[in-house]
Each structure stands twice: as C-alpha cells, then as structure tokens.
Amino acid sequence: MSGWDIEIRASDICKDAIKKAKAGTYNPTEIHRGLSHELIEKYFSVNSVGDYVADPSLKRMILFFNVNLIESLHEIQTFDLILIRNVLIYCLRRRKMYCGKFVQNY
C-alpha cells in the first residue's frame, strides 16, 4: 500500500484482548483462523517457539483503544471502513437493530 496514509483503530472492551493485540503474537491455531498464507507470509515472522509475530510496519499503523462500542457508538468519528467480527453476537436483538440503524445513517 505504498503511497497510502493508512491508520487503523482497533478497540475492545477487554483490556487483555487489547494487550494481546498490541503484542501481535499468535500461535499457529490463532493465525490460521482467517488469514491467507500470502498475508501471513507478508506481515508475520515466526519466532523461536513457533508463534507468529506481526511485522513492526503493520503495528505502526494501528492505534489501540479500550472501548465499549455500544456505549460510545454515538462518539464514533468518520471511517472509510468499519469491521466488527463476532462482536454483535453479545448484544440483544434490540441493540443489534440500533447498531444497524446507526451504520445505515452514518
């Protein structure tokens, strides 16, 4: 993505999840849950115990936040892309509809 100015904001309500994401180190089972071999090759290296470590160039693009998305939904700024994988599964149906409506009006 040379020539692009990319900033990624990563958030989770759980401090341990943020800590793990900041470390950027994943065991083989975790890393193979959705990433292609090409992306793993490009952005990760394997450490001495066989875990996959995110490239510093990737980490530099990411700002991490400890946030409750539901409570701070109205504070969300403008983004080009928002990805929420397996997060709304924790919400009641009414809350999911609220999130969907919010995104539609965004």
Ligand X SMILES: C[S@@+](CC[C@H](N)C(=O)[O-])C[C@H]1O[C@@H](n2cnc3c(N)ncnc32)[C@H](O)[C@@H]1O
Distance CA 100, CA 106 (A): 10
Residue from 8, 9, 10, 17 in contact with ligand X (CB under 6 A): 17
Q: Are 6 and 61 in contact (CB under 8 A)?
A: yes
Q: Does residue 13 bind ligand X (CB under 6 A)?
A: yes
Q: Does residue 35 bind ligand X (CB under 6 A)?
A: no
Distance CA 46, CA 36 (A): 15
We find the least distance from the C-beta atom of residue 1 to ligand X, in angstroms, to be 22
Contact map string, positions 49 to 68, toward ligand X, x by CB under 6 A? ------------------xx
